[in-house]
Chains A and B, each alone.
Chain A
């Protein structure tokens, strides 16, 4: 055991530059992989947060609206009722809330500066029907049911907005995974090469070990462990990057700036760290084992 530790230490030190190259490549690929996993966790968190908060807003015509469906000026009582009936008749609709112009005005004052709010009157805002869906995924049918009705100025479905955001997140995730895959490929080639050089430079020792009757496993183990340790260090570095990212970017910048939504937390990060460590060690160990099979005569 002590002999083994000595051999590994000598091996790592003998080939420092190559070991560093392996560590860096593995670290980069794992950092990107971790980022992709974190993005996935973020998307899941956001979906959970938003799913029961999503509504469809059906804005009804006021005096100032133009457009085909508002030809008659402000929405009439019949038109409003018609819209509400259409909505309540729809099986996908769970609940319908009505927001008057006065209520809209109060909310407006809450969100925006007084200086702006003072310039606006309740009549300039629109009444709206807020629709809660049974299944937030099934918004299209409801939207199309009311969009063209007279008295309806505009139908805003927040889900479509979020869909676009999720598509953006997904795009980032795919990009990160693609780059990570390329890096993993490079890392495997680098590990393979490093092991070949190491095996060659130690052929005297391994030759004697074979002659003297050391088991194949005990000849190969130091090389595999060397690679695994390099992979583990790469994983540790990638984890540190991930932790730093969470601490300094997500928590310090993103969360305060975008308080209206949920964000990934330390639980997600700590769940990803062991995955990175295991992947780093595993890739390195497997790549080195396969290389040894081909280049170390046992």
Chain B
């Protein structure tokens, strides 16, 4: 099913690019037909400066959608992660034990007990294991939580005519908690049997009570993390890979012989990334809603605003690294040193609440952390932009810091 969705998503992307290109070709033909008589009045002042930004934005966006490699790494690659992590976390919501039952008894009590265990969904029973030695070796590989041994004496009657028996739960040293939980679970499986022979009144009981509100699922954390990954992938690896190449070929140097300013070039890159990044994020949202039943509990416009702000900020990191580096040899190590720890420490692939508290405190202030937290709060926790003020503020602060650095270190060649 997941494969179907990938194919559909890919088909939609390819188709929309086709349509876009076709429309675009027709447009240029019209321009051609109009001929040299068409002369627009010259631009001046701010209009002129922003016109430069506009054209560069347009062309850089077009380049992205024509470049299959950029499309793959920008859109499809994060999508693959979404499928992998999404299916991992989606099935991880319930507690269950994988066990083996080794039944050495032939009594009817033993058979009934096995049936009762099999009907309980908490157990995932591996039916291929039927001896203790096989169970032990499977447990050694950590593929089995425990084995339930029903000894041959189980269910045989004693002198008083009552059936007795002791179950054995076998587990390894590092599965102690699973083993103990299993044991008490089995205890409760035996309760109806015992009650049959020894009528008892139980003074203290525990009953489950389900709350009407929903808590965050693992997928909610995974998804916001992957959105952060998508933004970081496009924003950082884009310029870090492209800029050194442009410098090597003298393309940036050539631009530098024209009056274009660094801020104009940066601004065009920011706008174009805002477009391409938003498309990549949108694709993620579509798949998350369609395949993983993501419930969006927030304002779409606010989400978009925050996504764009985040893209601007993260792109600044890429512009700083790519703009500073003279060649790939400088760019690659620096970007790896900065990006990979940030990806792991900001909760991209696993939620930050799993980290020790001191590490959570430190990683709170990484640039990507407020992006991921903010996105989760906006999309699934139903918060508004005002309510996530601290996150917005931190992103804005990083934005200033990162662009001050990027402007200072930028080199055209």
| Chain B binds chain A | no
Which residues on B are within 8 Å of A, measured CB to CB?
none
Which residues on A are within 8 Å of B, measured CB to CB?
none
